[in-house]
Amino acid sequence: MKVSELIAELQKLDQDSIVVMSKDGEGNSYSPLYNAYQGVKYVAENSWSGDTYPWPITESDRKNGWDEEDIPDGGVPAVVLSTTN
């Protein structure tokens, strides 16, 4: 789902509702949304999971030991939504 698609879906909902995220697709546990951030590249390992890497590499990333060679080929810029727990 792209950010524009998420915005369109959220605009249909009660704007005073809090946002909670499911731990998994089966709804076994939930946690409130803590924040949203970008500056990462998502590289899929399969159709349902993958990993994120800093992107584009900043001076702060370099100070933390990252450089372009650490990032796998492929992937797409992404927004990460993280939960409280």
Domain-embedded: residue 49: yes
**What single DSSP character describes residue 72?**
P
Report the predicted TM-score, pTM, of the whole model to 2 decimal places: 0.78
Cα distance between residue 39 and residue 79, in whole Å:
7
> Could you give the CA distance from residue 24 to residue 34 in angstroms, rounded to a whole number?
17
Beta bridge partners of 35: 82
Is residue 58 one of the residues assigned to a domain?
yes
Give the per-residue pLDDT at 42.
Answer: 96
pLDDT for the residue 33 = 94
For residue 55, the tally of other CB atoms under 10 A from its CB is 20
pLDDT of 80 > 90? The answer is yes
CB atoms < 10 A from the CB of 41, how many? 19
- Count of structural domains within the chain: 1
For the segment 10-25, the average pLDDT, to the nearest whole number, is 93
Q: Which helix (H) or strand (E) holds 8?
A: helix 3-11
Which residues constitute the domain of residue 67? 20-83
